[in-house]
A and B are shown apart, each in its own frame.
Chain A
Amino acid sequence: NAGVMQNPRHLVRRRGQEARLRCSPMKGHSHVYWYRQLPEEGLKFMVYLQKENIIDESGMPKERFSAEFPKEGPSILRIQQVVRGDSAAYFCASSVLQFGQMNTEAFFGQGTRLTVV
Chain B
Amino acid sequence: DAKTTQPNSMESNEEEPVHLPCNHSTISGTDYIHWYRQLPSQGPEYVIHGLTSNVNNRMASLAIAEDRKSSTLILHRATLRDAAVYYCITTESTGTASKLTFGTGTRLQVTL
Which residues of A does B touch, CB under 8 Å? 4, 33, 35, 42-45, 48, 55-56, 91, 93, 98-102, 105-111
The CA-CA distance from A56 to B92 in the complex, in Å, is 15
Q: How many chain B residues have a CB neighbour from A under 8 Å? A: 27
Report chain A residues within 8 Å CB of B43. Answer: 4, 91, 93, 108-111
The CA-CA distance from A98 to B34 in the complex, in Å, is 14
Report chain B residues within 8 Å CB of A4. Answer: 43
Which residues of B does A touch, CB under 8 Å? 32, 34, 36, 38, 42-46, 49, 51, 87, 91-105
Asked if A45 contacts B100 (CB within 8 A), the reply is: yes
**Secondary structure dominating the interface of B:** loop
What would 20 more interface pairs be, CB under 8 Å, given A45-B100, A100-B91?
A33-B99, A42-B103, A42-B105, A43-B38, A43-B44, A45-B101, A48-B99, A55-B97, A56-B97, A56-B99, A98-B95, A98-B97, A100-B92, A100-B95, A100-B96, A101-B95, A106-B36, A107-B46, A108-B45, A110-B43
